[in-house]
Structure 1
Amino acid sequence: MLLDPMGGIVLTNDGHAILREIEVAHPAAKSMIELSRTQDEEVGDGTTTVIILAGEILAQALPQLERNIHPVQIIAAFKRALADALNIIEEISLPVNINDDKAMYSLISSSIGTKFVSRWSELMCNLALKAVRTVSHDVGGGKKEVDIKRYARVEKIPGGEIEDSKVLDGVMLNKDITHPKMRRRIENPRIILLDCPLEYKKGESQTNIEISKEEDWNRILQIEEEQVKHMCDSILALKPDLVITEKGVSDLAQHFLVKSNVTALRRVRKTDNSRIARATGATIVNRVDDIQESDIGTHCGLFQISKIGDEYFTFITHCKYPKACTILLRGPSKDILNEIERNLQDAMAVARNV
């Protein structure tokens, strides 16, 4: 159990999570922490093992230095030892069928056997394997791209039991609809994703307008309304069921959308928007006038807003070809959920590397 400088608590047995919180001044210790960070990013697991092995190697190097052997010679000897070790690993390695669940489970369970979640080993193996298989993407040439950092998001909701955790074949957001009269459940929705606001657009440069007549004031308001109406008409021409934007939605735009029975979500994170695009087959559009039929996402089976605890969550699930997923973790407290997430990241990294 660690206390960070802000007074927060970190409960963990993950080597990298502990070393990350430690402040050191010694350059050798700093390079060891850097080593642990690299191991965590590249492999995901074995951070503590790397530190122990590196420490032992340094301990063995010290007597050689005291015998006045040049550091370059010592490094050359270690490189030869590395080559021998790699050859031995090649000889004893076994081929693994990545479609064989049992073999994959035993591989992943070895990574979480020493962790907090070892009691729920089968559940965690299942979550990690399902998530990695969902986001894996063929890039041609027999290679697969598995970007778990960008496309496999972990959502932690305190409450419920750890056994309630699951992988959603789509995206989950901590958002509610912008207007209470909008639909909260839509089957097979047509989805439009935007990166622009649905409100009156101010000019880049600051301008002052002098109004001398009352009609001019009304005309200015009318121009603003017409611009918003034009935006909404461009969207509604494609008959969507759901509009999601990274920016704001004005009250007037909400009024036009509600009249046409279209649901809207606003201020969605850019990362979430790109995951929705990948899961539903939609394209994120920067200007309302540029929307085409091919930009609409139609691969989503169900849009639903559910209340969990005190908050509303949006679920975009049952996607046909979900190349992005959300791992929903439940548990008794935030600290335990953070530790489960760290353990799960290790398990997913092992599955990805295989």
Structure 2
Amino acid sequence: MSGQPIFILKEGSKRTRGRDAQSNNIMAAKAVAEAVRTTLGPKGMDKMLVDSMGDVTITNDGATILKEMDIEHPAAKMIVEVSKTQDEEVGDGTTSAAVVAGELLKKAEDLIEMEIHPTVIASGYRLAANKAIEIVNGLAKDVKIDDEKLLTSIASTAITGKGAESAKALLAGISVKAVTSVVDEIGGKKVVDREQINVIKKVGGRVEDSELIAGMIIDKERVHPNMPEVVKDAKILLLNEAIELKNTEVDAEISITSPDQLQLFLDQEEKMIKDLVDKVGKSGASVVFCQKGVDDMAQHFLTKLGLFVVRRVKKSDMEKLSRATGANLISNFDEISKEDLGYAAIVEEKKISGEPMVFVTGCNNPKSVSILLRGGTDHVIDSVETALEDALRVVGVAIEDKKLVAGGGSPEVELSLRLNEYASTLEGREQLAVRAYAEAFEIIPKTLAENAGLDPIDMLMALRSAHEKGMKTAGLDVFKGEVVDMWKEVVVEPLRVKTQVINAATESAVMILRIDDVIATTKSQGAPGGAPGGMPGMGDMGMDM
């Protein structure tokens, strides 16, 4: 056996070990962070992403960019996950999360070069993260649900720097009104269900034509042109049942031997449909939304009764209509009663950009609302939707958590200074890791300055100086190019944006640091999808961007 090689892995597998594995992983993660860094802040630039089908996306939203980039490198994917989680949890701060994670790894690489073991760095990073959460919680201030001005400022901060900035005031106002309309109280806690805010996009008009509807917009039209176009003081019936004859549950044949019998059969069919329509009419409803179909003959009878009927409404829209109008969903015609009907001041069909839509407005206490977004082109309207989504999410998070921190890089500078003080209290090599962690957070104010065309070193020094003097809410005003009190300027963000960045960036950085062996196996030669040379994007573990 002496001198004979032993093969453990399949032929074509690739293995990268030790310092090489760490270096390649860190390089890939840093490249991803660098790709989105220029989009950070109010003066961040946009990216144009073109997919394999030729569809174009123009955005500066970190999560959208990383999702569309179709990244293959396994370590780089972990940074994408950080941004994705940030988007799902808070809605804003996606770029910050990716940039901080990349910077933590960059600082860790310097420590590895100094022969500090990755386990020690990971331990120091965890200590620093716990302390960072404690510090940032100490910086938070309370917000009340009825403080409309403060909530509007939160929405404005989220929209600033996005493509919809020209209509920032309008969109921020819409966001706050929409979110405060759908707040529920569960177990003494305020809860915001984003699903209850229906966003409808229609190309045409200007962004400024966007509006909040205190009720619902249904992207359908009434079933018959002779039905009324507008119904005032509408009594609304929501039907899960089709207004047509059901097929029999069992196979059955009807034998007709004479024209008289055929006429009787048709007459009976007509009578059965008329009975169904009469049950709807007797309920006192003036508007009917039906989740299923409406028979042609039923349409005729419903029109004669002067009802406004919409068919094939989506299940999700039916549930929102129920919340908005107070109507109950009915699955049985015999169960219809006046108590099940909902109310809306006006139900009307309007044409938006040449397409008919049904507006249900003037509900007593709408727990479901709609936002109609307008814009000159598809790209404009998509950009506006991204900004609006961020604003809706952060306002919701602020109402749920009731905690805010200042923006403009202010918490990051304070974190950096306080963590450096904390590092002095530690013994051993973890102290170096905590200092590196503290420095990593300075990437946020540095990037804000860089993207605004300011000198990052000068701005960082000015920020540090202000914080050293006890001005804990001092941040960078990129428009004036000077350090100001962000709390007075009402540039604020929900506390959860910062805590989520700290947690997600730290966890992913630690996970990547602890990898010292990358084994990429391939399917055997000739198998579908098999390719010699290792996993896609692994190659030499490099990453060109």
Short-chain TM bin:
over 0.9
Which residue, out of 266, 276, 290, partners 1:231?
276
Change (3 A) 1:285 1:6: farther
1:310 corresponds in structure 2 to 354
Measured after TM superposition, the shift of residue 263 of structure 1 is 1.3
Partner Cα distance (2:317, 2:220) in 1: 11
1:53 corresponds in structure 2 to 100
Which residue, out of 271, 274, 277, partners 2:322?
277
2:230 corresponds in structure 1 to 185
The reply on whether 1:90 has 2:137 as its aligned counterpart is yes
The 10-residue stretch of structure 1 (87-96 or 277-286) with the greater mean CA deviation from structure 2 = 87-96
The reply on whether 1:117 has 2:164 as its aligned counterpart is yes
Measured after TM superposition, the shift of residue 306 of structure 1 is 1.4
Measured after TM superposition, the shift of residue 71 of structure 1 is 4.8
Contact 2:219 2:356 in 1 (8 A): yes
Contact 1:231 1:289 in 2 (8 A): no
Letter of the 1:191 counterpart: I
| SS of alignment partner, residue 201 of structure 1 | coil
Paired residue total: 351
1:22 corresponds in structure 2 to 69
The 10-residue stretch of structure 1 (88-97 or 168-177) with the greater mean CA deviation from structure 2 = 88-97
Q: Deviations over 1:36-88 (max 9, x none)?
A: 11111110011111111111122233355566766554333222111110111
Indicate the RMSD between aligned Cα atoms, in angstroms.
1.8
Which sections of structure 1, spanning at least 5 residues, go unmatched? none
1:1-354 to structure 2, matched below 5 A, reads 1-64=48-111, 71-141=118-188, 143-148=189-194, 150-298=195-343, 300-354=344-398
Letter of the 2:128 counterpart: A
| SS of alignment partner, residue 374 of structure 2 | strand
Rg larger for: 2
Partner Cα distance (2:160, 2:334) in 1: 54
Q: Deviations over 1:299-318 (max 9, x none)?
A: x1111111222111111001
Partner Cα distance (1:280, 1:147) in 2: 17
Partner Cα distance (2:208, 2:322) in 1: 29
Partner Cα distance (1:147, 1:175) in 2: 24
| SS of alignment partner, residue 302 of structure 1 | strand
| SS of alignment partner, residue 183 of structure 1 | coil
Q: Deviations over 1:253-285 (max 9, x none)?
A: 112211211111111111111111111000111
The 10-residue stretch of structure 1 (187-196 or 153-162) with the greater mean CA deviation from structure 2 = 153-162
Partner Cα distance (1:43, 1:252) in 2: 50
Change (3 A) 1:6 1:295: farther
Measured after TM superposition, the shift of residue 347 of structure 1 is 0.6
Contact 1:305 1:313 in 2 (8 A): yes
Contact 1:136 1:146 in 2 (8 A): yes
Letter of the 2:126 counterpart: K
Q: Deviations over 1:101-152 (max 9, x none)?
A: 22222222221212112222211110110110111122242x122112x211
Report the TM-score, using the length of structure 2 for normalisation.
Answer: 0.62
Letter of the 2:193 counterpart: D
Measured after TM superposition, the shift of residue 224 of structure 1 is 2.7
| SS of alignment partner, residue 59 of structure 2 | coil
Contact 2:49 2:69 in 1 (8 A): no
Measured after TM superposition, the shift of residue 207 of structure 1 is 3.5
| SS of alignment partner, residue 303 of structure 2 | helix
